Chain A
Amino acid sequence: MSLVSASKLSKRYRAGDIEVDAIRDAEFVIEPASFVCFVGPSGSGKSTLLNMIGCLDHPSSGTLRVVDTDVSGLDRRSAADFRGRNIGFVFQDFNLLPVLTAAENVEYPLVMVQRWPANKRKQRVMAMLDAVGVADQAAKYPGQLSGGQKQRVAIARALVANSKLVLADEPTANLDHATAIRIIELMKSMRDGFGTTFVFSTHDPKVMAEAEVIFTLEDGRVARNAH
């Protein structure tokens, strides 16, 4: 049973007076606990595709199923609920909330999205910080962390609520190469440890080489590479 499946998936949007086909008739399947990378040049549609898989955007046509749910017709509230229960996000700019400590950032989905009881939350947060290697930074605010530490915290936040799928749009773009490789390795180890599917986008060939499944996007078309 696939975790994500797309059939004749298309996304068309208007940019001024021009109609742009961001994704054209995409067909792909992502298996559970896989480590998947979407590659392609800027403007190839990587972010658009990740946004649709993450229920942040709707397809113009075709079918998109994520975690046994047809997500193409979800309204705003249902989409938010679905994301909260199933999908974690890791962003290029880390996007940690600056007023919360590392631990509080990781705790956020458990408080504001899933509403876990306080005692279970604390244990879970510390376990996740420990898993990503920044337990000693728990009380620090994002402004006091390095880029690599921030992204580790962001990964912990994406995983803390038992997400089945983590989407990471260019997660290493703002990191130096060595840190980027360590972050990708961390994501892979998290996949191994938690069985979570990781889908990320990149155009860095060395980061790309770490992926187990690679989809290439070009002019909105998706092709699976042998790897």
Chain B
Amino acid sequence: MGNILKIAARNLLRYRRRTLLTSALVVVGIVAVMVFVAVAGSFKAMMVGQITDSMLGHAQIHRRGYVASIENLPLNMNMPQAMVEKVNAVLGAMAEIEAWAPRVKFGAGFSNFAETTNIRIVGIEPRRELAVTPLAAGRVRAAADPASFLKQGEVLVPELLARGMNVKVGATVVLIATNKDGSVNGKTFIVAGELESVTGPGGRDGYIHIDDARELLRMTAAEVSEIAVRFKNPAATERLVDALAPALGAMKGKDDKAKKKEGGAAAGIEVHPWQRLTPFANIANMIDLMTLFIKIMLVSIVLISVMNVMVMAVYERIREIGTISAIGTPPRRILSLFLAEGLILGVLGALAGSILSMAAIYGLGAARITFNFGQQQGLLLAPSIAPSDVAAISLIVVLVAVLASLQPAWKASRMDPIEALRHV
């Protein structure tokens, strides 16, 4: 093998300019792909992070049918306390779950004593909520007490609503809500801060303490509208949701039976990954699709450029092929000689391309480029590429380079030595 590689390398060096141009083309293709993967991946990670870490969590658990009616925030589809306790038990048993937080969601009237408007409210346990959505604290602007995210008796008001209603931090406001039995209740709150809007569903909801929410809604038991879940490994969200669903499904069976005995409606559990809860998952999918197309372009560039150079190499060396064939070189070794040239082109291109890509990605990171996403301004672009992506792209390039050499190499190995020796 060493001798084959040596001869192949020397043959490539015979046509230095052509080899250099082909390698340069492969390198440019690799750099384009790796930089795109790094930048698009950074944008995607930031977008997904903004959505999951400031609002949605990685997954959410609801009573069956709640998500279909989520625009109405139906109080009669909350999970009852017994169900919540069973869900807590299932979640507590899964090592991959970092944290989970209960929420009570409802629609309310918001009054500053001069005028009234509608608001969507999320009742949260602040400590647990921040464990699931750690960026939520960063959304609070002009906080009365920066050390505290939210206390009982306080409300975090969406900034657009605060501006529209001319409500300042520290002001007293009233929230008026109708509970599931139809009775209306009101409670005064102190505005603890303005909540920065986040693009996506729930991005303009106000926050109060979950105990306040239950008091306002006159809940006699600790009902929950949804449970937001944070996984230790966000990349494994869909797999973990698939693992979680059967565990909750087994629990649901008992619950159904109990409910049926009580004559109530069947109450199942639904688990949704964040991708199923926000249309921005489609943007993430589009980024993945664009990355795929860019990779296909890279494959085409490598395939065409390496095949071109190898076809030329075979054509220019027909007499040499005839000579080595005549002196007894087995066809498979002639095949190997040309495949090795493709392999070297691919490996060199992949190595140089990877090194240049790393430099380009580092340079982009050092340039501290910012961009806007929805309401978020000045998000810092932090391009990075996983070693597995570098390895996968390099491997694809090497394999395609060898594949591109296959046809010319096959032709060389099947050449009639007499015809080849006669070639001028």
Binding site for B on A (CB under 8 A): 51, 54, 56-57, 76-77, 80-85, 87-89, 91, 93, 95, 97-100, 108-109, 111-113, 157-158
Contact = CB atoms under 8 A, between A and B. Distances in A.
Contacts of B333: 112
9 contacts: A56-B418, A80-B325, A80-B328, A89-B326, A91-B421, A97-B7, A98-B14, A99-B13, A157-B327
B14 A83 contact: no
A100 B14 CA distance: 11
A80 B416 CA distance: 11
Contacts of A100: 7, 10
Contact of A111 (B3, B14, B319, B320): B3
B3 A112 contact: yes
Interface in B1-38: 3-4, 7, 10-11, 13-14
Contacts of B417: 56
Contact of B319 (A51, A95, A109, A158): A95
Contacts of A87: 328
Given A57-B418, A99-B10, A99-B11, A112 B324 contact: yes
A97 B330 contact: no
Contact of A81 (B3, B11, B328): B328
B329 A91 contact: no
Task: Tell which of B13, B14, B324 has the most Cβ of chain A within 10 Å.
Answer: B324
B327 A89 contact: yes
B331 interface: yes
A16 B421 CA distance: 20
Nearest to A76: B331
Given A51-B418, A81-B328, 7 more contacts: A56-B418, A83-B327, A95-B323, A97-B324, A99-B13, A108-B324, A112-B3
Contacts of B324: 97, 108, 112
Interface of B: 3-4, 7, 10-11, 13-14, 319-320, 322-331, 333, 417-418, 421
Task: Tell which of B325, B328, B329 has the most Cβ of chain A within 10 Å.
Answer: B328
A108 B328 contact: no
Contacts of B418: 51, 56-57
A56 B326 contact: yes
Task: State the main secondary structure of chain B at its contact with A.
Answer: helix
B326 A83 contact: yes
Nearest to A99: B10
Task: State the main secondary structure of chain A at its contact with B.
Answer: helix
A80 B328 CA distance: 4
A98 to B, nearest CB: 7
A100 to B, nearest CB: 7
A85 B330 CA distance: 12
> Which 5 A-B pairs have CB atoms at the shortest separation, nearest pair first?
A84-B328, A99-B10, A83-B328, A95-B323, A113-B328
Contacts of B421: 91, 95
B201 to A, nearest CB: 66
B51 to A, nearest CB: 58
Nearest to B320: A97
A201 to B, nearest CB: 14
Contacts of B320: 95, 97-98
Contact of A77 (B11, B322, B323, B331): B331
Task: Tell which of B4, B11, B421 has the most Cβ of chain A within 10 Å.
Answer: B421
Contacts of A80: 325, 328-331
A101 B3 CA distance: 13
Contacts of B4: 112
B328 A85 contact: yes
A99 B7 contact: yes
A84 B327 contact: yes
A109 B323 CA distance: 11
Nearest to A83: B328
Nearest to B14: A99
A107 to B, nearest CB: 9
A117 to B, nearest CB: 13
B49 to A, nearest CB: 54
A54 B326 contact: yes
